[in-house]
Amino acid sequence: MSGALKGVRVLDLTQMMAGPFCTMLLADQGADVIKIEPPEGEATRTHGPHFADDQERHYGGYFQSINRNKRSICLDLKSQGGKQAFRSLAAGADVVIENFRAGVMDRLGLGFETLAAANPRLVYGAIRGFGDPRTGSSPYQDWPAYDIVAQAMGGIMQVTGQPDGPPTKIGPGVGDTIPAMLSAIGILSAVIHARTTGQGQFVDVAMVDGIFAICERAAMLQSYTGAVSGRDGNHHPMFAPFGTFPCSDGWVAVGCPKDHFWILLTEVMGQPELGLDPRYARNAERTSRREEVIALVTAWTLPCSKAELAGLIGGRVPFGPVNTVADLFADPHLAARGMLAQVGHAGSEQTATIANTPIRMTATPGGARQRAPMAGEHTDAVLAEAGLSESEIAALRAAGAVR
């Protein structure tokens, strides 16, 4: 069975994390994503880790994990031949997406308006640190931005970490991946609109905007109370208990957002009287006495192991162990859900295990189906599909416009 996006062609000019993660999401659901790289290949191909037997080093694990299911073509967009080849591809594409600084594609003569003149139904996506002037000019428009900048300026670092500690970066690169997911939603919305009306459009997601948008509680509190949200550590400002608790071999998460969960928890703790105690019976009282509640639950969890706690309250009260990636690789849940995808690796006899798509669909299942491409692996095939003859492709190759 084919993915739901079969027949959607995406020209992917993106690099690093945010853009490739967005197009990976589309490729996982069946879109034909053509990764357009410079003649030397995208720079992130050199990022490790690498398998020990991989002497060819076409790419490392970083590139593999977010460029699966794509085809690769190498074009020199600074050359006239490369530009013309790209225009030929764009004329038949549904989507073009890039994450250069604002104005780069316009200076190359390949901006949205130019491409849309030849292909009015084209959806043009852009992911930049501070957006594109087409949708709202930012005073920071020309600033370079990466994950850490988006996390800092978007507000998420200020509300992450321990109350008496510094602002804390979230481990995974959410400054990239969250804007990527939002961009995928915007692009698909625009594709549906284009197929209904024949009208394409420019889709713009600023990385800082994406991070600010998911800090919704902080924005709401500022508006309603004037309060500037601080750092709550691993506990919740509105529920108690609701956070992480130490145990003999690590940490566990326990949440009681509803009072009946608290009653169940106190029964398992062997202190059912706490469930009815007016100091703790309702969430409002527990929240006002949060430190007392945390201390009570901690005293119970600390002597137990994660497995013991799972046997006692797993399935009864919202609970989960704090897993390492090694724990997850051995977890029966991920195995049952097919979340550990196996793909080949160019230049190695080994098989790579990467995170599969979490989006499950009954009629059009997607997922990681094939390894990341070698640089320019599909150049001839893609250009031929765009109508170029063998002699035309050979001429472009001889001129250094394609690889």
- The sheet with strand 250-255 has its strands ordered as 242-247, 250-255, 319-321
Active-site residue set = 176
**Residue 254 pairs with which residues in a beta bridge?**
243, 319
DSSP assignment, residue 46? G
CA distance 16 to 23: 12
Helix, strand, coil shares, percent, the chain, to 5: 40, 15, 45
Sole residue written with tokens 């995170």: 355
Cα 145–chain centre separation: 16
For 229, counting Cβ atoms within 10 Å of its Cβ (0-12 exposed, 13-18 middle, 19+ buried), the class is middle
Q: What is the largest CA-CA distance in the chain?
A: 85
Of the candidates 103, 108, 67, 68, the one whose C-alpha atom is nearest the C-alpha of residue 90 is 108
Q: Which amino acid is at 287?
A: T
Cα distances from 303 to residues 308, 358, 371, in angstroms, run 10, 35, 45
Cα distances from 142 to residues 97, 102, 235, in angstroms, run 19, 7, 38
CA distance 256 to 242: 6
Q: How many CB atoms lie within 10 A of CB 282?
A: 12
Q: How many CB atoms lie within 10 A of CB 147?
A: 22
Contact status, residue 62 vs residue 50, Cβ threshold 8 Å: no
Sole residue written with tokens 């970490």: 161
CA distance 302 to 244: 11
Give the contacts of 48 (CB within 8 A, at least 6 positions apart).
Answer: 60, 61, 62
Cα dihedral sign, 216-220-223-227: negative
Give the tokens for residue 18.
Answer: 């945010």
The vertex-63 CA angle with 59 and 68, nearest 5°, equals 105
